[in-house]
Structure 1
Amino acid sequence: MGPEVDTPGTSAPPSAARSAPEPQRGPAPSVLRSLLRTREASVLGALAVSVLAASFMVEGFATGRNAGFLVLDVAAIALIALPMTLVVITGEIDLSVASTLGLTSAVMGQLWVLGLPLETIVPLCVLFGALLGALNGVLVTVAGLPSLAVTIGTMAMYRGLAYAVLGDRAVADFPFTWTGGATSRLPGTDIPWIAVLILVLAALFGLLLHATPIGRSLYAIGNNDEATRFSGISVRWTKLWLFVASGTVAAGAGVFWTLQYGSARADNAYGLELSVVAAVLLGGVSIFGGRGALPGVLAGVLLLGTIRNALMLADVSSDVLDIVTGLLLVVSVVLPTTLARVRERRPGRLRPPRAASRPALPVSPPRRRKVKNRP
């Protein structure tokens, strides 16, 4: 046999032949496993457990009629929680939403007493809520005041204005076409029509937060507003419009609340801001800003509503309901911080690889060469 001749394209280059085979890497974590580790998955799991437990332990819970009442009970919380999620993600908070709802209800009742039609009253009330939210936004962004202090002050001021507008009276002679329509169900189902509005608004807010540059800027503001400002994003205008949206939606919830219960009162939705904040934080939004997702917030709203609905069916007093709401609020703030500290102190946690340390070799001083003088 003659000598073998290498043909072009058939033999591997010598460098490839001498190279060692690459080490095999382990399988990458699946998408499902990554999703199960998120805070939203934990909230969904807690919601499923709560629904199952209430279905077996509370009589009358697992019925379509009760499901419709549950949706109506959390409708105002769900509506207000949508813009509140965006506000908290930026590192701010709005505690005046319930007072905005109550003041809107009082103005709605007073305008009805003065003889204005509801077709005119409803848009005026929504516009009035936008102005109330703008006042909060101006005090936070222009005056540079902390949103916690500002909204605590406006919470008391708006509630006082509600009593100044309507006093202790209750306006309850709204037409049945409006009050009955607020609690009407979709044809052939026990689902109230307000659930459709909530889903539509949730889709709009979700797209804004998770699929647009505006949403990414909200997370950036929550993580570091100074760096975001230097990147060219108007932090002031962004926060201002978020407070306007919060006031507008709270006023719309006030209109729905008034029609749902058929009564305009100054004390409507008293203390509802705690339920809204508890639902937002339960859904995985960080109170410090920069983290959270809207699906988790909706799950938090349903979890809070499920627990309250089951306790009410079990004839638990309203004082216990307030205690449970406050407890959930404390847990939603303390638990994430505690788990984060436990992960940091866990001895077996993964750490970034470090470069291998080598023993230092003694370095001798450079030798000086002797230069001979040549004649």
Structure 2
Amino acid sequence: MSNTADAPEKAGSSRYIIADRPGFRLGALLGRWESLLALLLVAAFAANAIMLPHFLDLYNLADGTFNFSEKALIALPMALLIICREIDISVSGILALSSVAIGLAHTSGVAPELLLPIALATGTACGWLNGIMVTRFRLPSIVVTIGTVSLFRGLASVVLGDKAFTGYPQVMADWGQGYFFGFIPREFIILLVFAALFAVMLHATTWGRRIYAIGNNPVAARFSGIAVDRYRLVLFMLTGAMAGLAAYLLTGRIGSTRPNIAMGWELEVITMVILGGVSIAGGAGTIGGVMLAVLTLGTVTYGLSLANIPGIYMTIVVGILLLATIALPRLLRGRRTAK
């Protein structure tokens, strides 16, 4: 005689019957990290709209995207790196060195249309160095990139000294400060295009599935025939290239290259990724979650700036969010284990 407890599952599984109920679907939806982020974004937006009279001005909202677009461009490949159990602390140094390379090329008379390729090449070369140190010499990526951020920024500071590169061509200002349709910043459109490309690559291709496999178990991925080191090297180079693109846009937006350009950006970029639900242990995360985190942090930053709150307080907020998003899942997992 069969066990009656097993009957529903044999008949079609009670799990699927429950899943058809609207309440269950709502609970599953709200249990997703991305859903919680969306609620947090709505709450931050509503609070700012209530407390700040000029918050909902469309032109101000559009201009507010300048505060995070370049950082978010770096956060996209950083998410893939962290999913692969790696990290790049050197992105702000890569950006600084790429900006210096643009300045040197411009002062040497290089054509304006070649400045973007120079920035991308410089960033890619820096990423290649990071990747080689990690994959060829088996050094921890966090140690390597802590060292190279000092190397890259040090080289930029040596070249600049106490000077600055200025007088960049108009084409850089057009991309760094310009608008589409009169009010949508070009940088934000570029960010949306790259977010879509990264989302397709990670979630709809074999390449993306292999990235998840490497993050979940690199040894098993290697035995299954995945070229783990090659993927890691490419991701470091991709992260460097995106930092080079960010350098081009940022340099065009502010119109100069200075030794302290993008100082401390690595913390904000990593916070965007971790707050977006990418596991620091690797193997989990989505581009959609990262973009929700970008918009949430951007909304909070924009509100603080409208309220004339000093930028140092934003640094405190970023630090708290980073600690909370790393510690909270572990605390919840510990409570479930205790039960």
Check whether TM > 0.5. Answer: yes
Could you tell which deviates more after superposition, 284-293 or 308-317? 308-317
1:28 paired residue number: 19
Q: Based on CA coordinates, which of the two structures has the bigger radius of gyration?
A: 1
Tell me if the contact between 1:104 and 1:129 (Cα under 8 Å) persists in the aligned partners. Answer: yes
Query: Does 2:60 correspond to 1:60?
Result: no
Query: Does 2:176 correspond to 1:174?
Result: no
Secondary structure of the structure 1 residue equivalent to 2:86? coil
Secondary structure of the structure 2 residue equivalent to 1:287? coil
Secondary structure of the structure 2 residue equivalent to 1:256? helix
TM-score between the two structures when normalised by the length of structure 1:
0.83
Tell me if the contact between 1:279 and 1:300 (Cα under 8 Å) persists in the aligned partners. Answer: yes
Give, in angstroms, the shift of residue 284 of structure 1: 0.3
1:281 paired residue number: 274
Give, in angstroms, the shift of residue 33 of structure 1: 3.5
Rounded Cα–Cα distance in structure 1 between residues aligned with 2:259 and 2:265: 13
Could you tell which deviates more after superposition, 31-40 or 332-341? 31-40
Rounded Cα–Cα distance in structure 2 between residues aligned with 1:277 and 1:181: 25
Rounded Cα–Cα distance in structure 2 between residues aligned with 1:69 and 1:312: 12
- The letter of the residue matching 1:274 is L
1:324 paired residue number: 317
Matches within 5 A, 1:119-158: 119-158=113-152
Give, in angstroms, the shift of residue 147 of structure 1: 0.3
Tell me if the contact between 1:110 and 1:166 (Cα under 8 Å) persists in the aligned partners. Answer: no
Rounded Cα–Cα distance in structure 2 between residues aligned with 1:139 and 1:99: 17
Matches within 5 A, 1:88-237: 88-188=82-182, 190-237=183-230
Larger helix share, 1 or 2: 2
Query: Does 2:231 correspond to 1:247?
Result: no
Identity of counterpart residues, as a percentage?
Answer: 40
Matches within 5 A, 1:362-373: none
Unaligned segments of structure 2, at least 5 residues: none
Rounded Cα–Cα distance in structure 2 between residues aligned with 1:104 and 1:295: 28
Rounded Cα–Cα distance in structure 2 between residues aligned with 1:274 and 1:211: 29
Give, in angstroms, the shift of residue 37 of structure 1: 1.1
Q: Deviations over 1:302-338 (max 9, x none)?
A: 1111111111111111221211111111111111111
2:42 paired residue number: 48
Rounded Cα–Cα distance in structure 1 between residues aligned with 2:294 and 2:178: 21
CA RMSD of aligned residues (A): 2.0
Give, in angstroms, the shift of residue 68 of structure 1: 1.4
Rounded Cα–Cα distance in structure 1 between residues aligned with 2:163 and 2:62: 30
Could you tell which deviates more after superposition, 248-257 or 23-32? 23-32
Secondary structure of the structure 1 residue equivalent to 2:110? coil
Give, in angstroms, the shift of residue 63 of structure 1: 1.2
Rounded Cα–Cα distance in structure 2 between residues aligned with 1:54 and 1:297: 21
C-alpha distance 22-287 of structure 1, shift in aligned 2 (>3 A): closer
Rounded Cα–Cα distance in structure 1 between residues aligned with 2:68 and 2:209: 28
Rounded Cα–Cα distance in structure 1 between residues aligned with 2:223 and 2:122: 34
Could you tell which deviates more after superposition, 215-224 or 295-304? 215-224
Rounded Cα–Cα distance in structure 2 between residues aligned with 1:87 and 1:177: 32
Rounded Cα–Cα distance in structure 2 between residues aligned with 1:317 and 1:89: 33
Tell me if the contact between 2:130 and 2:148 (Cα under 8 Å) persists in the aligned partners. Answer: yes
Rounded Cα–Cα distance in structure 1 between residues aligned with 2:74 and 2:203: 19
Rounded Cα–Cα distance in structure 2 between residues aligned with 1:22 and 1:177: 70
Tell me if the contact between 1:71 and 1:192 (Cα under 8 Å) persists in the aligned partners. Answer: yes
Unaligned segments of structure 1, at least 5 residues: 1-18, 347-375
Query: Does 2:302 correspond to 1:309?
Result: yes
TM-score between the two structures when normalised by the length of structure 2:
0.92
Secondary structure of the structure 1 residue equivalent to 2:185? coil
1:260 paired residue number: 253
Number of equivalences: 328
